[in-house]
Chain A
Amino acid sequence: MAPDLLDTMMSAAAAVIRDNAEALTALDQAIGDGDHGINMTRGFAAIEAEKAAMAAMALPEALQKIGMTLVMNVGGASGPLYGSYFIAMGRAIPPDPLTAAAVAEALIAGALAVQQRGKSAPGEKTMLDVLVPVADAVRAAAKAGTPTADMLTAVRDAAACGLESTRDMLATKGRASYLGERSVGHLDPGAQSSQLLVESICNVVAANLAAAKVEDV
């Protein structure tokens, strides 16, 4: 991937987390321990601080470095969860050329790593309820040969629907599980941060698609 594209993605991800930190914390105060916005902001600020070095790396190494930076800086359970996600994607993705099928494989590997790290599965009111549908959407688009612009729409929809699906779920994993029935009716903060990140990356790809920097993959 072009270094400037990866650089822009890291900035966009850091910005969306920073801009939504209070909202993430508010969600987490409702059903968790109220530190998700602060923790994620710390982790993504650390990525932004080192982004020039990471953008210069090959994509597999850059993704693993991003993951390790989150592991070391987030400070909550989301550190190892997001960290494992990016590390697994870095291990699964080829350096070049980047096809939709390869991205789909990496996203699936990432979601599997989160399942293992969190001992969790989709439907349990976690970030997986966004990450798994997103991976499935990319895989379906890759299989069908969908144009990138349409794939982005499908990915955004999958993330938004996945996020919304967590509202009525009963949390059985993480701190929210202590609340039992009281967790129902709230969006999951991890699913919300995942949706925000997916949306921000889609925006970067769309903008570059418009500028013809990204070819259909």
Chain B
Amino acid sequence: MTERVGIVIVSHSPDIARGTADMVRQMVGEEVPLAWCGGNADGGLGTDVAAIKAAIEKVYGPLGVAILVDLGGAETNSEMAIELLDESWRPRVLICNAPIVEGAVMAAVEAAGGAALEDVRATAEELSP
């Protein structure tokens, strides 16, 4: 299988994360490794460092992983999750400063074309004001 950048979607809400992943799948099918996580360890709204780390590990490959987040805590917890990864992985796991739904779809489309991690992030971040 051709290598692709993996996409991880991190929302406070499991429904938003799952729904965003559904939209990504509709656009790019199974071409791109995709994982999502949402909610805290108790199943309420929030984000869970262990779950984010597991999602990254699920889709990590040689080209790396682009993470799309919603609000502040999702970003802070994603940064923490990256720091808990093996040191050799960390430079190839990036958080995109982009709206979560549009950013995930745009990043996945770019990734599906075989783009490098930096290009995937740049495409997602073009959406930011």
Please give the residue numbers on chain A whose beta carbons come within 8 Å of chain B beta carbons, in ascending order.
33, 35, 38-39, 42, 71-73, 75-77, 79-81, 83-84, 117-118, 173-175
Q: Given the interface contacts A81-B76, A83-B80, A118-B76, does A76 sit within 8 Å of B40 by beta carbon?
A: yes
B113 close to chain A: CB less than 8 A: no
Question: Is the CB–CB distance between B72 and A80 below 8 Å?
Answer: no
- A sample of 23 cross-chain residue pairs with beta-carbon separation below 8 angstroms, ordered by A number, consists of A33-B12, A35-B40, A35-B44, A35-B45, A38-B44, A39-B46, A42-B40, A42-B42, A71-B49, A72-B50, A73-B41, A75-B47, A75-B48, A76-B40, A76-B47, A80-B49, A80-B76, A80-B80, A81-B76, A83-B80, A117-B76, A117-B80, A175-B71
Interface of B: prevailing SS:
loop
Residues of chain B contacted by A175 (CB below 8 angstroms): 71-73
Residues of chain B contacted by A81 (CB below 8 angstroms): 76
A128 to chain B, nearest CB (A): 14
Question: Is the CB–CB distance between A117 and B79 below 8 Å?
Answer: yes
Residues of chain B contacted by A79 (CB below 8 angstroms): 49, 77, 80
Residues of chain B contacted by A73 (CB below 8 angstroms): 41
| Contact among A35, A117, A118 for B46, CB-based, below 8 A | A35
Residues of chain B contacted by A76 (CB below 8 angstroms): 40, 46-47, 73
CB-based nearest B residue for A80: B80
Q: Given the interface contacts A72-B49, A72-B50, A80-B80, does A174 sit within 8 Å of B72 by beta carbon?
A: yes
With A79-B77, A80-B76, A118-B76 given, name 9 new contacts (CB 8 A): A33-B45, A35-B44, A35-B46, A42-B41, A75-B41, A76-B46, A80-B80, A173-B72, A175-B72
A175–B47 alpha-carbon span in the complex (Å): 14
Question: Is the CB–CB distance between A77 and B40 below 8 Å?
Answer: no
CB-based nearest A residue for B75: A77
From 66 to 82 in chain B, residues with beta carbon under 8 angstroms from any chain A beta carbon are 71-73, 76-77, 79-80
A189 to chain B, nearest CB (A): 13
A81–B76 alpha-carbon span in the complex (Å): 8
A36 to chain B, nearest CB (A): 11
